[in-house]
Structure 1
Amino acid sequence: MLPNLHHQRYQEFKQALEQLQQMVAGTQLDGTRLRQSFLKAQQFFQQQIVSLDASDLEPTEEPKIRSYQTEMSKQLQLLGMDMMFLQAARQPGTTQERQIQILQRLQTLISYCDAILI
Structure 2
Amino acid sequence: MENNRFYVRVAIVRNREKTTKTTSGIRTVELQPEAKKAIEDQCQYTKDKLRVFHDPTTDQQWKGDHIIRKRIWMSSLKAANIEYRNPYQTRHTFASMLLSTGKNPLWVAQQMGHKDWGMIRKIYGRWIN
* TM-score, normalising length: structure 1: 0.26
The structure with the greater share of residues assigned to strand is: 2
**Which one has more relative contact order, counting CA pairs under 8 Å at least 6 apart?**
1
* TM-score, normalising length: structure 2: 0.25
The structure with the greater share of residues assigned to helix is: 1
Bigger radius of gyration among the two:
2
